[in-house]
């Protein structure tokens, strides 16, 4: 038994233990540090709360508008703008599917390269950089850039969503590969197959269920995002929604939001079903 | 057939896991590699098929130096060396047949293996091997649907699909019950004799090893400390491999000096803390 690092505190704990007194080790062992950290966090929260300047008159005004908006959910208007809504939805769904497929296809090689246990160091760093770039910027910022580059419309939207999908999928795929069981990886390598055969036989079966689950999850994230990036001009149902809000046409906005909710719920149900089936 | 000369392995920031191993294994000989945990048994067999790169020394298979080969020649060398694992190492989401056929990966092209279109002769060989290990009706079952002993049998069939000259076997029975352990050891050793295969078997169970192998090599702290026939394993030699222990006394009435009364421990601690 090694006695290195035995301190007076350890001895005291052991003596107390003998007398039946024991409590788990605290996360931070130095008492003064533990106490002052806790007090510091509390003080910060109070200071932060006091520094927020709330204009209660404006809140009261906004409440009315908010109530109006919520009330319109009781009378959604699917009919008077049905043409625009239909075109918007169709465009959003097309954008979503195209972007998800392109994004997932591009994410697979990046994800393989970003898995520490299977990629050599230079490839690993390149792929991690791609992931970091893609994940740093929120979809709206990327959308603004691509709208500026490719003009208004769904092309900018598709490229935005595909780009965001790469970072998301590649990161989670790489993590799943890093969690793969080591022994099957060794076993297939020991058969003398090529790298591609090894990926196909040892890696793919272990990560496929997760890859499918994540792709479906990303599909519904992309649908929701397509509604948001439409507001900055990247096409789809978001553009329609934005127009209706600007016109104070809350009944149509409510109809659009209800449709978005319905589609997200449907895809949620569908992806749960597929995930159970691929396990 | 297999010759290791001066093989050493040093892991980053630690001492030698293997130091200067010389070992020659003639064709068809089955040897057991015994030794305490951490003695370097797993490292040694992984240095043979280069799943671990030896730091020093030379590995020769049929007089071809495979220590520094890369790419296609490394894969060529690996396919002549079958490997069987402690935790079976099946790809659990693949079927039994896919697992067995994966032993042929180095013999077929990528697209053939991708579409699972293996040559007829390979499929027949897989069937014969599955029948030999007693699992011919399980071919469509998924790996994770099998019991431990069955998984190990599939692992054996996969290794033999490579038509290897040498088998590396890493603790084949460590996760199995005593009866299944004996069956698996017998199966491995029978197959080696039938096919004139050499094998290195890492094993903890000395008694089991003695019953089945031609030769025993003892490893301690990365060095070979015994190399001889199973009959020569005396208590003195076991002590030299595993350290002090009364090998004749049954395990349950031994006097364990780790179990000293707690007061002594506290005294020891206190004394040490205040010198």
Q: Does A21 touch chain B (CB under 8 A)?
A: no
The pLDDT value given to residue A1:
41
Q: What confidence tier does B250 reach under pLDDT thresholds 50, 70, 90?
A: low
Q: Which of B85, B106, B266 sits opposite A183 (nearest CB)?
A: B85
Query: CB–CB of A11 and B273 under 8 A?
Result: yes
Sign of torsion over alpha carbons B149, B150, B151, B154:
positive
Q: Check CB contact under 8 Å for A186 and B272.
A: no
Residue A248: the pLDDT is 84
Question: Bridge partners of B252?
Answer: none
Strands B56-61 and B64-65, bridge-based pairing: antiparallel
Q: What is the pLDDT of residue B261?
A: 47
Q: Which of A9, A176, A181, A184 to mutate to test the interface with B (most CBs of B within 10 A)?
A: A184
Identify the helix (H) or strand (E) that includes residue B22. Answer: strand B16-25
Angle between helices B262-273 and A8-18 (to 10 degrees): 160
Contact A191 B268 (CB under 8 A): no
CATH architecture under which domain B2-273 falls: 3-Layer(aba) Sandwich (3.40)
Q: How many interface pairs between A and B have CB atoms less than 8 angstroms apart? A: 106
* Length of chain A as a residue count: 279
pLDDT in tens, A116-157: 988 999 999 999 999 999 999 888 899 999 999 998 888 999
Three-class secondary structure of residue B118 per DSSP: coil
Residue A208 has pLDDT above 60, yes or no: yes
Domain boundaries, chain A: 8-51, 79-278
- Chain B hits for A11, CB-CB cut-off 8 Å, are 266, 269-270, 273
- Assign domain A79-278 to a CATH class: mainly alpha
> C-alpha angle A68/A69/A72, rounded to 5°?
85
Residue A6: Cβ within 10 Å count: 15
Q: Is residue A117 less than 8 Å (CB to CB) from chain B?
A: no
- Best mutation target among B46, B71, B91 (most A Cβ atoms within 10 Å) is B91
* Rounded Cα–Cα distance for residues A241 and B106 (Å): 57
Residue-wise pLDDT for B210-247, tens only, equals 999 999 999 998 999 999 999 888 888 888 888 877 77
Burial of residue A157 (CB within 10 Å: 0-12, 13-18, 19+) is: buried
- Residue A64 CA neighbour count, 13 Å, CB half: 4
**Angle (nearest 5°) at CA B112 between B145 and B106:** 80
Percentage of residues in chain B with pLDDT exceeding 70? 90
């Amino acid at each position: 038994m090694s006695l290195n690092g035995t301190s007076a505190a350890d001895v005291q704990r052991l003596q107390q233990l003998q007398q039946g007194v024991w409590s788990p080790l605290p996360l931070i062992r130095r008492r003064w540090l533990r106490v002052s950290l806790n007090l510091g966090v509390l003080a910060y929260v109070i200071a932060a709360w006091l520094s927020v300047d709330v204009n209660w008159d404006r809140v009261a005004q906004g409440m009315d508008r908010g109530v109006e908006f919520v009330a319109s959910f009781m009378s959604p208007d699917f009919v008077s703008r049905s043409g625009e809504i239909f075109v918007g939805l169709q465009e959003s769904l097309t954008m979503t599917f195209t972007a998800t497929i392109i994004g997932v296809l591009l994410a697979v090689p990046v994800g393989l390269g970003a898995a520490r246990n299977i990629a050599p160091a230079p490839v690993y760093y390149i792929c991690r950089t791609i992931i970091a770039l893609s994940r740093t910027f929120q979809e709206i910022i990327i959308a603004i850039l691509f709208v500026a580059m490719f003009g208004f419309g769904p092309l900018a939207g598709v490229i935005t969503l595909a780009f965001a999908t790469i970072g998301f999928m590649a990161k989670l795929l790489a993590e799943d590969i890093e969690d793969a069981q080591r022994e099957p990886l060794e076993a297939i390598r020991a058969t003398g197959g090529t790298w591609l055969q090894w990926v196909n036989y040892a890696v793919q079966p272990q990560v496929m269920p997760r890859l499918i689950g994540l792709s479906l999850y990303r599909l519904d994230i992309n649908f929701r995002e397509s509604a948001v990036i439409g507001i900055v001009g990247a096409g789809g149902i978001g553009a329609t929604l934005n127009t209706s809000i600007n016109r104070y046409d809350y009944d149509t906005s409510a109809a659009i939001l209800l449709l978005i909710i319905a589609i997200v719920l449907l895809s949620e149900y569908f992806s749960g079903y597929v995930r159970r089936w691929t396990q | 057939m297999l010759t290791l000369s001066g093989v050493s392995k040093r892991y980053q920031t630690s001492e030698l896991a293997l130091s200067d191993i010389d070992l020659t294994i003639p064709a068809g000989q089955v040897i057991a590699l015994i030794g305490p945990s951490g003695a370097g048994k797993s490292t040694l067999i992984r240095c043979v098929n280069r799943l671990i790169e030896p730091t020093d020394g030379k590995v020769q298979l049929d007089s071809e130096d495979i220590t520094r080969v890369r790419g296609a020649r490394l894969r060529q060398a690996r396919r002549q060396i079958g490997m069987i694992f402690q935790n079976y190492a099946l790809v659990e989401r693949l079927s039994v047949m896919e697992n067995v056929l994966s032993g042929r990966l180095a013999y077929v092209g990528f697209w053939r293996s991708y579409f699972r279109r293996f040559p007829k002769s390979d499929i027949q060989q897989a069937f014969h091997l599955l029948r030999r290990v007693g699992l011919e009706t399980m071919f469509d079952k998924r790996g994770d649907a099998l019991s431990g002993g069955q998984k190990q049998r599939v692992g054996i069939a996969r290794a033999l699909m490579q038509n290897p000259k040498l088998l590396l076997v890493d603790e084949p029975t460590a996760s199995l019950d005593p009866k299944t352990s004996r069956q698996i050891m017998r199966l491995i050793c029978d197959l080696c004799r039938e096919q004139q295969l050499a094998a290195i078997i890492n094993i903890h169970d000395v008694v089991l090893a003695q019953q089945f192998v031609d030769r025993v090599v003892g490893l301690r702290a990365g060095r070979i400390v015994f190399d001889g026939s199973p009959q020569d394993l005396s208590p003195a030699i076991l002590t030299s491999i595993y350290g002090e222990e009364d090998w004749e006394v049954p395990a349950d009435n031994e006097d364990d000096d780790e179990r000293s009364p707690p007061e002594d421990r506290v005294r020891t601690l206190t004394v040490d803390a205040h010198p």
